[in-house]
Amino acid sequence: MSELEVRLHAFAWLRERGAANGGVIPGAVLNQGFTHEGRRITLKGASGIWFPQGFSMPISITTALKGPYRLDDIADDGLLTYAYRGQDSQHRDNQGLREAFRTRTPLVYFREVHDSYYQAIWPVIVLEDHPEGLFVRAAMDPAYANLRPDADPASINLSPLDLRRYAWTETRRRLHQGAFRDVVVAAYGHRCTICRLAHTELLDAAHIIPDLDDLGTPVIQNGLSLCKIHHAAYDTDILGISPDYRVHISRRVLKEHDGPMLKHGLQELDGSPIVLPSRANDRPDRDRLAHRFESWKRAG
Distance, in Å, from the CA atom of 248 to the CA atom of 297, rounded to the nearest integer, reads: 10
CATH fold of 3-181: PUA domain-like (2.30.280)
Q: Which residue has the higher pLDDT, 289 or 78?
A: 289
Residue 262: exposure state from Cβ atoms within 10 A (0-12, 13-18, ≥19): middle
Over pLDDT 90: what percentage of the chain? 65
Q: What pLDDT does 224 receive?
A: 97
**What's the whole-number average pLDDT of the chain?**
89
Distance, in Å, from the CA atom of 249 to the CA atom of 157, rounded to the nearest integer, reads: 58
Q: What pLDDT does 68 receive?
A: 67
Is the predicted pLDDT of residue 271 greater than 70, yes or no?
A: yes
Contacts of 15 (CB under 8 A, 6+ apart): none
Distance, in Å, from the CA atom of 158 to the CA atom of 116, rounded to the nearest integer, reads: 32
Of 15-29, 49-63, 137-151, give the lowest mean pLDDT range. Answer: 15-29
Burial 200-211 (b: 16+ CB within 10 A, else e): eeebbbbbbbee
Of 26-30, 53-57, 179-183, give the lowest mean pLDDT range. Answer: 179-183
Q: Which residue has the higher pLDDT, 114 or 189?
A: 189
Say if CB 124 and CB 136 are below 8 A apart. no
Say if CB 80 and CB 137 are below 8 A apart. yes
Domain extent listing, the chain: 3-181, 188-299
Give residue-wise pLDDT tens across range 134-191. Answer: 999 998 888 898 888 889 999 999 888 888 878 777 776 666 666 788 889 989 999 9
Say if CB 143 and CB 156 are below 8 A apart. yes
Distance, in Å, from the CA atom of 58 to the CA atom of 122, rounded to the nearest integer, reads: 13
